[in-house]
């Protein structure tokens, strides 16, 4: 598979420590912003988007900062509802994993705001653990790559695809309305308890230390079978990989995976 860079924001990337401070400020703003009444007049729509930018996305499968997406107010109006502050460009030419697609009868390409993404006017065909979303549901990786059912880990593949098949249609619909997080080789949603897990952000040493007195052990538990880099290597001076963290919506289990350039 062709390697792809973790797509960057248009703005030059800030150094990590500065970004963390910013995130804390955003959290404080979130608390203040929460009490404001939600207004629905068209003129207020931009405010809705702005608040979302400050407070992060609070979606069933995406509980990280909006900075983790490629969504950004691009100064255009939404092609669907005309609201100012459209966040994403889409084009039906890009019907590939992680890209938006639109149903028949909708504008074929244009700009979309977060409200319209949430309304399902543009949807995303994500890669998921053991497979991918399709326009109608999910399919296991073996549909496209039948040889994996004959490989050395065929039992794991078959078991994983059985888990994927148990995920209800309502969950698939919700994930299609969830924007992807920025990832080196495309966002992939992990699964647990017959559901997709909620993406909670990119984790570094601080996050592991916050969640456990034994960060290395937590790392090993979270990565499980996907552990191919030791904790010290991941956060070592030459590391060029990123760890994406997820929480199960049913049992709170934490999992994650790493990928890199
Ligand atoms: Zn819109
Ligand atoms: Zn679970």
* pTM of the entire predicted model: 0.75
Residue 83 CA: which ligand is closest? 1
Residue 186 pLDDT: 83
Neighbours of ion ligand 1 (CB under 5 A): 78, 80-81, 83, 113, 116
Structure confidence by residue, pLDDT tens digits, 23-32 = 444 444 444 4
Q: What is the pLDDT of residue 8?
A: 59
Please give the pLDDT value at position 14: 36
Task: Tell me which residue of 109, 104, 80, 106 sits closest to 94, measured CA to CA.
Answer: 109
The pLDDT value given to residue 124: 84
| Closest listed ligand to the CA of 253 | 2
Give the distance (Å) from ligand 2 centre to CA of residue 225.
Answer: 16
The closest ligand to the CA of 90 turns out to be 1
Quote the CA–CA distance of 84 and 11 in Å, as a whole number: 20
Residue appearing with tokens 């969830």: 178
Question: What's residue 238's pLDDT?
Answer: 81
Ligand 2 centroid–CA 40 distance in Å is: 36
- Between the CA of 250 and the centroid of ligand 2 the distance, in Å, is 5
Q: Give 107 Cα–ligand 1 centroid separation in angstroms.
A: 12
At 253 the pLDDT is 97
pLDDT value at residue 161: 96
Strands 195-196 and 198-203: unpaired
Q: Which regions of the chain are under pLDDT 50? A: 1-3, 10-54, 91-98
How many angstroms separate the alpha carbon of residue 252 from the centre of ligand 2?
6
Cβ count near 3 (within 10 Å) = 9
């Amino acid at each position: 598979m062709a390697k792809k860079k973790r797509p960057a924001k248009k703005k030059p990337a800030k150094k990590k420590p500065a970004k963390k401070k910013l995130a804390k400020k955003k959290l404080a703003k979130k608390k203040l912003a929460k009490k404001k009444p939600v207004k629905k007049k068209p003129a207020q729509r931009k405010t809705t988007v702005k608040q979302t930018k400050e407070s992060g996305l609070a979606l069933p499968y995406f509980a990280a900062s909006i900075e983790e997406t490629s969504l950004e107010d691009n100064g255009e109006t939404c092609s669907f509802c005309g609201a100012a502050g459209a966040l994403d460009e889409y084009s039906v030419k890009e019907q590939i994993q992680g890209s938006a697609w639109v149903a028949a009868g909708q504008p074929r390409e244009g700009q979309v705001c977060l409200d319209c993404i949430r309304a399902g006017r543009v949807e995303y065909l994500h890669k998921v653990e053991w497979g991918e979303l399709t326009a109608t549901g999910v399919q296991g990786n073996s549909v496209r790559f039948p040889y994996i059912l004959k490989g050395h880990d065929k039992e794991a593949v078959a078991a994983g695809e059985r888990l994927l098949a148990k995920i209800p249609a309502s969950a698939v619909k919700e994930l299609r309305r969830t924007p992807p997080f920025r990832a080196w080789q495309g966002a992939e949603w992990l699964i647990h308890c017959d559901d997709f897990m909620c993406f909670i952000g990119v984790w570094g040493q601080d996050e592991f230390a916050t969640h456990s007195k034994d960060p290395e052990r937590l790392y090993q538990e979270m990565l499980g079978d996907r552990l191919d880099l030791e904790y010290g290597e991941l956060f070592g001076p030459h590391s060029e990989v990123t760890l994406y963290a997820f929480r199960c919506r049913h049992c709170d289990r934490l999992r994650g995976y790493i990928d890199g350039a």
